Amino acid sequence: MSVVHPWQPVYDERSKIFILGTIPSPKSREYGFYYGHPQNCFWVVLARSLSAAEPAPDIASRTAFLLKNRVAVWDVLRSCDIAGAADSSIVNPVANRFAPLLAKTRIDRIFTTGKTATELFNRHCAEEAGMPATYLPSTSPANRAAQSKPDFYMKWAQIACALNEN
């Protein structure tokens, strides 16, 4: 199925870090916002990483949470062909452009959720963006086994460290 990214990135001029997925899943597209699958633990993990309360599960609260914490969110791909939510099935990827957005922010670190997002960003976007992405383990329901391991949260702790850097 051909998918075209349905939303604009969430960011403002104060944004310091970027968190990028690959492309919204069918459940997220149905919900209408990033990481909207009810079993995706992105919002729980991000809140825990920031030592903050999890935002309410509505788009306005989640947007406010991101902006308050200087976190920008988008996806690596503008479009692709994909079977369901399986990143491993992606063909014909078309990457988003990051340099114009980065020029409007204070973003100095880019994190990607999952191996495919990291590989696609570093292959198609890092040069244009002027920096590579740092891998974070996926928060998708398909990655449940990894989410119970201590190093999962240790990797996500890099978010708070990056936000606290000058």
Among 3.40.50.1220, 1.10.240.10, 3.40.50.620, 3.40.470.10, what is the CATH number of 2-164?
3.40.470.10
CB 24 within 8 A of CB 75: yes
Q: How confident is the model over 59-76, as pLDDT tens digits?
A: 999 999 999 999 999 999
Question: pLDDT averaged over the chain?
Answer: 94
**CA angle in degrees (0–180, nearest 5) for 67-130-112:** 50
Residue 5 pLDDT class (50, 70, 90 cuts) = very high
Q: How confident is the model over 83-133, as pLDDT tens digits?
A: 998 989 999 999 999 999 999 999 999 999 999 999 999 999 999 999 999
Q: Which residue has the higher pLDDT, 150 or 123?
A: 123
pLDDT, residue 150, reads 80
Would you kindly state where each structural domain of the chain is located, as residue ranges? 2-164
Distance in angstroms (rounded) separating the CA atoms of residues 38 and 25: 12
